[in-house]
Structure 1
Amino acid sequence: NGLDAQKLNAQFATMTSNDSCTSGAQACVSGAFAQCIGSSWELTPCSSGLSCFALPLVTKAGTSLACDTQSDAEARFVAAGVQGG
């Protein structure tokens, strides 16, 4: 889960709101939650002090996208047994 979330965050870091997308896809773009509507990203900013991250799930396989603090996101990766997010 940790490695999968790291891979997603690396992909998200290169994305912009102008990139094309597949309708229904979700991502973190420029620190905001992004949902693809048609072929365009619709961004929903996180609350102040938070950024969007792909985070490893704890109790089952997979990842989730969430608005979180940088420090809490990093702690979740450490808990998942990987360094960095």
Structure 2
Amino acid sequence: MAADLTAERLLADIADALGEPVTDLHPDEDLFDRGLDSVRLMGLIETWRAAGARGADFADLAEQPTAASWARLLRG
């Protein structure tokens, strides 16, 4: 994962995509249950790839839809 793609940054980006305060999200909650959809996930992936993320694709992230899991996956 690129240096600026911290777990906190990922959570902030997800909160922004959901239109919710970051303080309302928990790193281990299921983001699809929270309202994230595939279109917004694709947008997040593109944002993170532009920032240097490598190693995980849509299917990887969709299988483990939590910010904590995504932080681990995007380090790869």
Fold in common (TM above 0.5): no
TM-score of the superposition, structure 1-length normalised? 0.31
Task: Determine which structure has the larger helix proportion and give its number.
Answer: 2
TM-score of the superposition, structure 2-length normalised? 0.33
Which one has a bigger Cα radius of gyration?
Answer: 1
Using CA pairs under 8 Å that are at least 6 residues apart, name the structure with larger relative contact order, 1 or 2: 2
Task: Determine which structure has the larger strand proportion and give its number.
Answer: 1
